[in-house]
Structure 1
Amino acid sequence: MARNDPRILVHEKNREFHISNGLVSYIIKADDQDHLMQLYYGKAVADREDFGYLVEVQRRTTASCPIEGNASYSLEHLRQEYPEYGTSDYRMPAISIAQPNGSRITNFRYRGYSVLSGKPTLEGLPSTYVDEDNQAATLRIELSDDLLGVTATLSYTVFAGIPVIARSVNIANQGSDAVDIERVMSMNLDLPDDNYEFTQLSGSWARERSIIRSPLHPGIQQIGSLRGSASGHEHNPAIMLSRPSTTEASGEVLGAALVYSGNFDAQVEVDSFAVSRMQMGIADFDFDWHLAPGENFQAPEAVLVYSDEGFNGMSQAFHTLIHRHIVRGPWRDKERPILINNWEATYFNFNEDKLVAIASKAKEAGVELFVLDDGWFGARNGDTAGLGDWTPNTKRLPDGLKGLADRINDMGMMFGLWFEPEMVNKDSDLYRNHPEWVLATPGRSMSHGRNQYVLNFANKDVVDNIFQQMYKVLSGANIAYIKWDMNRYITEAFDNSRGSEHQGEVYHRFILGMYDLNERLLKAFPNLIIEGCASGGGRFDLGMLYYSPQVWASDDTDAVERMSIQYGTSMVYPLSSIGAHVSIVPNHQTNRITTLNTRTNVALFGTFGYELDLAKLSPEEFEEVKQNVAFCKRYREVIHTGSFYRLVSPFESNRHNGGKVAWMVVSQDKRTAIVGDYTMLSHPMSPFSRLYLEGLDPELEYDVDVIGGASSIRGHAFHGDELMNIGMIDSDASTGSSSGEVEDANDLGASHDFDSRLFVLTAR
Structure 2
Amino acid sequence: MAINIKNQIFTLHTKNSTYQMKVDEQNMLIHTYYGNRTDDTDCSYLIRMADRGFSGNIPGTDRERVYSLDFLPQEFPVYGDGDYRVDCLKADLGSGVQDGIFFFDSYQVRDGKYNIPGLPAFFSSEKSEGKTLEIVLKDAVEEVYVHLLYGVFEELDIITRAAVVENRTEGDIQISRIMSACLDLGMGKYDLIHFYGKHAGERQMERNSLPHGITELRSTRGTSSHQHNPFVILADKDTTESTGECYSASFLYSGGFHAQAEVDQFNQTRLVIGIDDYDFSWKLKKGESFSTPEVCLTYSADGFSKLSQTLHQAIVSNLIRSCWKDRVRPILVNNWEATYFDFNKDNLIAIAKEAAELNLDMLVLDDGWFGKRDDDFSGLGDWFVNEKKLCGTLSELVKEVHDMGLSFGLWFEPEMISEDSDLYRAHPDWALVIPGRQPIRSRSQLVLDMSREDVTDYLTERICDIVEKADIQYIKWDMNRSLMAAYSAKLPRDRQGELRHRYVLGLYKVLEAVTQRFPELLLEGCSGGGGRFDAGMLYYCPQIWCSDNTDAIERLRIQYGTSFGYPMSSVSAHVSVCPNHQNHRVTPFKTRGICAMQGTFGYELDLSKMTDEEKKMAGEQIAFFKEHGRLFQFGDYYRLTSPFENRDYTVWEYAAQDGSEACMSVVYTDMYANAASEIVKWKGLDPKKVYQMQLDGEDAGNFSGAALMHAGILLPLPEQNYDAFQIYLKAE
TM-score, normalization: structure 2?
0.98
Contact 2:128 / 2:155 at 8 angstroms: preserved in 1? no
Over 3 Å counting, the alpha-carbon distance change for 1:278 and 1:299 in structure 2 is same
User: CA offsets per residue over residues 213-272 of structure 1, 9 Å max, x none?
Assistant: 0001100111110001x1000000011011111111111111111000111011110001
Structure-2 residue corresponding to 1:430: 423
Partner residue, 1:8: 3
Q: CA deviation at 1:353?
A: 2.0
For residues 323-472 of structure 1, the aligned pairs below 5 Å read: 323-472=316-465
1:720 equivalent to 2:715? Answer no
The answer as to whether partners of 2:194 and 2:206 remain within 8 angstroms in 1 is: yes
Equivalent residue for 1:741? none
Task: State the partner residue of 2:204.
Answer: 210
* Equivalent residue for 1:259, pick from 227, 252, 261: 252
Task: Find the residue that maps to 1:391 and give its secondary structure.
Answer: coil
**Aligned with residue 495 of structure 1, among 488, 501, 516:** 488
Paired residue type of 2:703: F
| CA–CA distance in structure 2, aligned partners of residues 611 and 209 of structure 1 | 22
Q: Distance in 1 between matches of 2:341 and 2:433?
A: 29
Q: Is the 8 A contact 2:2 2:154 kept in 1?
A: no
Query: Is 2:14–2:158's contact at 8 Å kept on the other side of the alignment?
Result: no
Cα distance in 1, alignment partners of residues 413 and 162 from structure 2: 30
Matched, 1:57 2:25: no
- The Cα of 1:117 is off from its aligned counterpart by 1.1
Find out whether 1:627 has 2:620 as its counterpart.
yes
CA distance in 1, matches of 2:491, 2:81: 35
How far apart, in 2, do the equivalents of 1:615 and 1:398 lie?
Answer: 20
| Residues 118 and 133 in structure 1, CA contact (< 8 A), matched pair in contact too | no
**Could you tell me the percent identity over the aligned residues?**
41
CA distance in 2, matches of 1:664, 1:51: 39
| Separation of aligned partners in 2, 1:75 and 1:565 | 41
Question: Helix, strand or coil: the match of 1:376?
Answer: coil
Equivalent of 2:669 in 680, 687, 695? 680
Letter in 2 for 1:95: L
Choose the corresponding residue for 2:101, options 104, 107, 120.
107
CA distance in 1, matches of 2:532, 2:4: 37
CA contact (8 A) 1:456 1:462 kept: yes
Distance 1:339 1:89 in 2: 54
Aligned-residue offset at 1:146: 4.8
Corresponding letter in the other structure for 1:487: N
Matching of residues 532-611 of structure 1 within 5 Å:
532-611=525-604
Q: Paired residue for 2:76?
A: 82
The structure 1 residue matched to 2:305, chosen from 312, 327, 343, is: 312
Q: Give the drift of 1:21.
A: 2.3
Structure 2 Cα separation of the partners of residues 161 and 473 of structure 1: 41
Report the secondary structure of 2:205's partner residue: strand
Q: Which moved more, 1:678-687 or 1:269-278?
A: 678-687
How far residue 64 of structure 1 moved from its aligned partner, in angstroms, is: 1.9
Q: Distance in 2 between matches of 1:756 and 1:134?
A: 39
Which piece of structure 1 moves more, 495-504 or 576-585?
Answer: 495-504
Q: Gapped runs of 5+ residues in structure 2?
A: none
* Secondary structure of the structure 2 residue equivalent to 1:644: strand
The equivalent of 1:135 in structure 2 is 129
Q: Are 1:695 and 2:670 counterparts?
A: no
Structural mapping, 1:620-659, within 5 Å:
620-653=613-646, 659=648
- Picking from 694, 705, 721, the partner of 1:705 is 694
Distance in 1 between residues matched to 2:73 and 2:325, nearest whole Å: 39
Which secondary structure state, in structure 2, belongs to the residue aligned with residue 208 of structure 1? coil
1:731: Cα distance to partner? Answer: 4.9
Cα pair distance change 1:321/1:247, threshold 3 Å: same
Q: Distance in 1 between matches of 2:719 and 2:682?
A: 22
Contact preservation (8 Å) 2:657, 2:684: no
Q: What per-residue deviation string (whole Å, max 9, x for no partner) do you get for residues 532-587 of structure 1?
A: 00000001000000000000000000000111111111011111000000001100
Question: SS in structure 1 opposite 2:385?
Answer: coil
State the 1:134 CA deviation: 5.5
SS at match of 1:180: strand
Shift of 1:471: 1.4
How far apart, CA to CA, are the structure 1 residues paired with 2:46 and 2:673?
A: 58
Cα deviation for residue 121 of structure 1 reads: 1.5
1:243 aligned to which of 236, 243, 258: 236
SS at match of 2:207: strand
Which of 162, 169, 175 is the equivalent residue of 2:163? 169
Deviations 1:32-51 (A, max 9, x none): 21111000001110223x44
State the one-letter code of the partner of 1:54: L
Kindly state the Cα deviation for residue 133 of structure 1 after the two structures are TM-superposed. Answer: 8.3
AA partner of residue 615 (structure 1): S
Amino acid at match of 2:549: D
Q: 8 Å contact 1:532–1:552 — kept in the other structure? A: yes
Is the Cα–Cα contact under 8 Å of residues 100 and 140 in structure 2 kept in the other structure? Answer: no
Q: Give the match for residue 747 of structure 1.
A: none
Indicate if the aligned counterparts of 2:93 and 2:144 stay in contact, CA closer than 8 A.
no
Give the RMSD, CA atoms, in angstroms.
1.2
Could you report, residue by residue, the CA deviation over 1:460-489 in whole angstroms, capped at 9, with x for unpaired residues?
Answer: 111111111111111111100000000001
**Aligned with residue 223 of structure 1, among 217, 227, 230:** 217
Matched to 1:595, the amino acid is P
| Contact 1:117 1:134 (8 Å CA) reproduced | no
- In structure 2, the partner of 1:735 is none
1: CA distance, partners of 2:721 / 2:391: 46
Shift of 1:56: 2.7
- Poorly superposed stretches of 4+, deviation over 3 Å: none
User: Which residue identity is paired with 2:712?
Assistant: G
Contact 1:201–1:211 at 8 Å: present in 2 too? yes
Paired positions, count: 730
Asked if residue 506 in structure 1 is aligned to residue 460 in structure 2, the reply is: no
Q: Please give the alpha-carbon distance, in whole angstroms, between the structure 2 residues aligned to 1:148 and 1:124.
A: 28
Q: Which secondary structure state, in structure 1, belongs to the residue aligned with residue 700 of structure 2?
A: coil
- Code of the residue aligned with 1:729 in structure 2: it is L
Distance in 1 between residues matched to 2:607 and 2:14, nearest whole Å: 50
> Which secondary structure does the structure 2 equivalent of 1:284 belong to?
coil
Of residues 596-605 and 351-360 in structure 1, the stretch that sits farther from structure 2 once superposed is 351-360
Query: If the length of structure 1 is used for normalisation, what is the TM-score?
Result: 0.94
CA contact (8 A) 2:693 2:729 kept: yes
Deviates more, 1:14-23 or 1:99-108: 99-108
Contact kept in structure 2, 1:647 and 1:662, CA below 8 Å = yes
**Alpha-carbon distance in structure 1 between the residues aligned to 2:663 and 2:335:** 29
How far apart are residue 62 of structure 1 and its match?
2.7
Equivalent in the alignment of 2:731: 763
Give unpaired runs (5+ residues) of structure 1: 1-5, 733-749
Corresponding residue for residue 670 of structure 1 = 659
| CA offset digits 1:650-708 (Å, max 9, x no partner) | 00015xxxx11000000121110010111001111121110111111111111110117
Quote the Cα distance in structure 2 between the aligned partners of 1:435 and 1:272: 52
573-582 or 616-625: which moved more? 616-625
Q: Does 1:154 align with 2:182?
A: no
